[in-house]
Structure 1
């Protein structure tokens, strides 16, 4: 039986739908960024990403059409305002794609493990590889430009050792000295802070240009929450005399003219918030020092209501497109 003869499963429909939303949003952002990118190498990365994203959108359209499904609306030309001033300065374009490549690589790798039809598995396998390639290109470029800080170096381990007692887990007991962070914990903290710094500049820019007052207030909340996350997680590194990542590039300009619709900016913020919840859960799960999971859980408790508030705001304005819904058979049991 050929793949096309096998109906899509609910997980495949849902993941294709979410990919369509994310990719159409990314196309609109890329259209704006391409207007302002003044570095030839950055332009090539943006164009390459645009072409691959456009192909993905067309592929998903074709799959839905073949299945007799309605094409999602996603984000259209009405969600981007061309010809407006630059909202972010020096090299924000590759920094934004660097952040998005982390999100996409995580999502598409997950989606590939939730797919069963051969053509859908192959699609998400390709998308995972494409997002990893985007990450490689942006990382190499930003490192060469000196605007991306590597995680701290450390001495190579010389022998295998095992944890001898539960003091290794100590972090909350004020009567026990906390051990130094291990390599896994440092890597997770660095990753979370690095991604959050790019997101914080995004919130600052969005807060400056949002048209709706409530939406503007929401972005200000996001800006403050980003700062709290960076400060809280950065303190763990500073306690071990490790400087958290920082960069002089990619700051928000003073422009107050919106390059995107409030709908698009809200969706992107919601996507970053959801990714932040997942990152904190991952960091907490792999941290063996007891104070780290607790701190990350507390941050997640602040991110979750922020994301929920964003969803409610989008619903109020009619911006939240409804995902495909199964037939409600519960009513049959009431008759």
Structure 2
């Protein structure tokens, strides 16, 4: 065995995907840093930018050493720092926190698909960095009163076991609404998280809809606004039925600006990434929700988000914005040659 084996197809794939994500985040951070009024927020984002930039360089060096072409990803052409603010103060850290949440999940999955020690270590280091900045963003938002905690609950005094299948009820048309059991704390956690994420996504895509240059892209983002609203409404009603507080944010709204700080290509990719994250979150929420009406709602959300994301993929392909991941050898074509 060579001292350092060549990277595998899965390692190439996850490094390529990470390069796309990190170069997108760098471009967005460049704009948010430029427009930041709060020094503490600016320092969090500036320090994060420095950390990410180092790892984009490390991934680039791995590609070079393996003789692989460097992906295009997102460049200076995809950001314009000299435009008015598209979002109020607070959105930058809210959004960075969401991006770090996505990154935490991706890095964990990526470690499971890597074998070479240096690449495993790269993703372990990225995971530690991501966790640190996720926490920094969370504490900043709590300190500024820009994020609400999930509802408190009375602590359990004894352990209980489910006594019959009525515990799963929620969609039986012959069952009165009043007989539907209250949500348990696991279900509250996933519903609350879904509302919180969709609130941030709603503000993000509202800004994108205001400033997109391509008319088809603008229409696509406007549809995304309505989809986010419908998901927030459905999830909030589930809480309201049980008298549970619905999360709300005190900042981070889109301004009245209609000038794009990012390219349509970048905004479409960012929306696609959030759709993938949302579908994954709904799938996990469905798995851990024991009330069947919740599982049914999350399944519908996943279907709607998938159809929306598929429409976005078609727009990206049509406009030449979807960079193709490295392909496996086309054996049938090689044999024919």
1:297 aligns with one of 296, 299, 310: 299
Matches within 5 A, 1:66-77: 66-77=65-76
CA distances 1:80-110 after superposition (whole Å, capped 9, x unpaired): 0121000000211111111111101111111
Instruction: Give the aligned partner of residue 19 of structure 2.
Output: 20
Distance 1:321 1:334 in 2: 27
Matches within 5 A, 1:310-329: 310-329=312-331
Structure 2 SS opposite 1:315: helix
- The answer to whether the Cα contact below 8 Å between 2:36 and 2:89 also exists between their aligned partners in 1 is no
TM-fit CA distance, 1:333:
7.0
CA distances 1:294-318 after superposition (whole Å, capped 9, x unpaired): 1000011110011011111001000
Distance 2:316 2:174 in 1: 48
Instruction: Give the aligned partner of residue 85 of structure 1.
Output: 84
Q: How many residues align?
A: 334
TM-fit CA distance, 1:257:
0.5
Q: Which is worse superposed, 323-332 or 90-99?
A: 323-332
Q: Where in structure 1 are there 5+ consecutive unaligned residues?
A: none
Structure 2 SS opposite 1:69: coil
Return the TM-score normalized by structure 2. Answer: 0.97
TM-fit CA distance, 1:288:
0.4
Matches within 5 A, 1:123-134: 123-134=122-133
Structure 1 SS opposite 2:21: helix
TM-fit CA distance, 1:132:
0.9
Instruction: Give the aligned partner of residue 233 of structure 2.
Output: 231
Instruction: Give the aligned partner of residue 211 of structure 1.
Output: 213
TM-fit CA distance, 1:246:
0.9
- The answer to whether the Cα contact below 8 Å between 2:81 and 2:261 also exists between their aligned partners in 1 is yes
Matches within 5 A, 1:77-226: 77-176=76-175, 177-226=179-228
Instruction: Give the aligned partner of residue 257 of structure 2.
Output: 255
Instruction: Give the aligned partner of residue 246 of structure 1.
Output: 248
TM-fit CA distance, 1:2:
6.7
Instruction: Give the aligned partner of residue 60 of structure 2.
Output: 61
TM-fit CA distance, 1:192:
1.0
Distance 1:332 1:204 in 2: 47
Matches within 5 A, 1:262-301: 262-301=264-303
Return the TM-score normalized by structure 1. Answer: 0.97
Instruction: Give the aligned partner of residue 7 of structure 1.
Output: 6
Instruction: Give the aligned partner of residue 45 of structure 2.
Output: 46
Distance 1:164 1:333, change over 3 A: farther
CA distances 1:251-306 after superposition (whole Å, capped 9, x unpaired): 00000100010000000000001111111111101100000111000011110011
Distance 1:322 1:209, change over 3 A: same
Q: Which is worse superposed, 7-16 or 213-222?
A: 7-16
Distance 1:185 1:2 in 2: 50
